[in-house]
Amino acid sequence: MRKQLIALLLTALLCVFPAAKAGELDLSTVPAPQQSVPEVLSPISEAPLLDSPPIHPDCAAVMLLEADSGQIIFEMNADSPRPVASVTKVMTILLTLEQLASGRLSPQSEVVVSESAAGMGGSQVLLDVGERQSVATLLKCMIVGSANDAAVALAEAMYGSEALCVEAMNRRAGELGMTGTHFVNCTGLPAQGQQTTARDVAVMSRQMFSHEAYFDYSTVWMEDIDHGDGRVTQLVNTNKLLKLYEGCDGGKTGSTNEAGYCVSATARRGDMRLIAVVLGASAGKERFAIARQMFDYGFAGYRRYPVASKGTRVRGQLPVSGGAQDGVELLLGGDLTLLIAKGDEQRVQLTSELPQSVAAPVRAGQLIGHVAVSMDGRDVARIPVVAAADVEGKGFGIALRRIWENWAGKF
């Protein structure tokens, strides 16, 4: 009799609490597997805040954006494919930083310089065949001195050959949505078919700047590199904005006859970081002057406006039909900070998009609706609204559960 009763109660409970469907299992207590694909930041905005640049840059293409939100302030010829010389190394640097972050590379690991790496032309740190340098030193040489030999040495250390590194560069570009980019080498030396765009440079630069370890190298102005045989090469940072612009702490330069003078630079003031991309300027000083103008405009005219904080209470209780409680409290399920023109705070409007009620059972964190964020009638964002607590259904299910708990407790 007891076995029959247990079987009956188990059958009833399974009807009230059905087995989870595929994809609905709660794995919150199981450690997440190591990601094979590096994190991708949220996409940059689809449209700039301004229809055209407020300055008149004498170059082929520009883009100015805020790093955290990815909001573009203005752009010019942002999707025109072109060579960018050593700005190409942004992707080589990014792959190195990602391997360091994942533990696949160690900063202290020694790299033996190959003949192909030592024989690279253009900007060099003058590595010798068979010379041993740490990953950290080679990365510093690439970031600070734009050294082609260091770039190839790291490419070979990471992937076995420059060709395989280039495959990884193109693969990562695809993951980042860089549709206007094709890499042929890891250095940016002139090569048929190698191209990118101001938009894609901004995307990969933003990803690179998201690594705090990058700034350990990018802020070095001058340093001697010891080759271990009595020779010393002096590195001098190619990014002159470090000295020319307050708040600038990183960037990558490049120049060839084909690409002109290019730079992708970043500067931070207060809680706002901007990224300025300048491609195809007529001279080295000109690219820096344009970038300074872009930074000046961005910092003077815009600010980060915290619209909402995750966990903020949205409204009074939302009615729950068929629930053990009459209602459930609602919370914002995410943060939102907008980049807006200074003085435009009053133009930001919030509108709730919530149902009249919700049916039980309700689970804490369950998506209930959204808060729409608009400016001048134009939707700019949506913030999820979630339930603050569980609300069980009332009736047969709860009564049966209590019977089961009281009965099972006797054994």
Q: Among residues 302, 325, 356, which one ends one of the domains?
A: 302
DSSP strands (E only) in 58-135: 61-66, 72-76, 110-112, 132-134
Q: Which residues contact 34 (CB under 8 A, 6 or more apart)?
A: 102
What is the enclosing helix (H) or strand (E) of 53? none
Give the integer Cα–Cα distance in Å for 284 and 410: 84
The distance in angstroms from the start CA to the end CA of the chain is 15
Taking the CA atoms of the chain, what radius of gyration do you get in angstroms? 28
Give the integer Cα–Cα distance in Å for 159 and 171: 13
**Does 321 share its domain with 177?**
no
CA 213 distance to own-chain centroid: 14
**Would 28 be classed as within a structural domain?**
no
Orientation angle between helical segments 148-159 and 162-175, nearest 10 degrees: 80
**Does 324 share its domain with 296?**
no
Q: Model confidence over 329-352: pLDDT tens digits?
A: 999 999 889 999 999 999 999 999
**Does 344 share its domain with 196?**
no
**Would 208 be classed as within a structural domain?**
yes
Q: Would you place residue 12 in the very low, low, confident or very high pLDDT band (cuts 50, 70, 90)?
A: very low
Check which CATH number belongs to the domain holding 387 and give it.
2.60.410.10
**What's the domain count of the chain?**
2
Q: Model confidence over 233-252: pLDDT tens digits?
A: 999 999 999 999 999 999 99
Give the integer Cα–Cα distance in Å for 292 and 267: 10
Q: Which range is least confidently modeled, 237-241, 250-254, 288-292, 400-404?
A: 400-404
**Choosing from 114, 123, 146, 205, which is the catalytic residue?**
146
Whether 86 sits among the annotated catalytic residues: the reply is: yes
**Would 153 be classed as within a structural domain?**
yes
Alpha helix ranges (H) inside 223-371: 241-244, 284-301
**Does 325 share its domain with 250?**
no
Whether 89 sits among the annotated catalytic residues: the reply is: yes
Q: Which range is least confidently modeled, 172-176, 210-214, 335-339?
A: 335-339
Q: Model confidence over 100-159: pLDDT tens digits?
A: 999 999 999 999 999 999 999 899 999 999 999 999 999 999 999 999 999 999 999 999
**Does 87 share its domain with 186?**
yes
Using an 8 Å Cβ cutoff, are 81 and 180 in contact? yes
Using an 8 Å Cβ cutoff, are 272 and 303 in contact? yes
- List beta partners, residue 76: 62
**Does 224 share its domain with 152?**
yes
Burial 48-69, CB ≥16 within 10 A → b, else e: bbeeebeeebebbbbbbbbbbb
| Mean pLDDT, the chain, integer | 88
**Would 324 be classed as within a structural domain?**
yes
**Does 370 share its domain with 254?**
no
In this prediction, residues 2-20 reach a mean pLDDT of 40
- In which domain, by residue range, is 227 found? 61-302
Q: Model confidence over 63-111: pLDDT tens digits?
A: 999 999 999 999 999 999 999 999 999 999 999 999 999 999 999 999 9
Q: What is the reported pLDDT for 395? A: 66
**Does 346 share its domain with 237?**
no
**Would 289 be classed as within a structural domain?**
yes
Burial 333-352, CB ≥16 within 10 A → b, else e: bbebbbbbeeeeeeebeeee
Q: Among residues 302, 318, 339, which one ends one of the domains?
A: 302
Q: Among residues 242, 272, 302, which one ends one of the domains?
A: 302
Looking at the predicted structure, is the pLDDT value of residue 294 above 50? Answer: yes
**Would 51 be classed as within a structural domain?**
no
**Does 337 share its domain with 255?**
no
Q: What is the reported pLDDT for 40? A: 62
Tokens encoding 243: 């000295």
Greatest mean pLDDT among 4-13, 23-32, 111-120:
111-120
Give the integer Cα–Cα distance in Å for 99 and 283: 35
**Which of 297, 239, 242, 238 lies closest to 66, judged by CA?**
297
Check which CATH number belongs to the domain holding 291 and give it.
3.40.710.10
Looking at the predicted structure, is the pLDDT value of residue 409 above 90? Answer: no
pTM (2 d.p.) = 0.82
Looking at the predicted structure, is the pLDDT value of residue 18 above 50? Answer: no
Q: Note the residue count of the chain.
A: 411
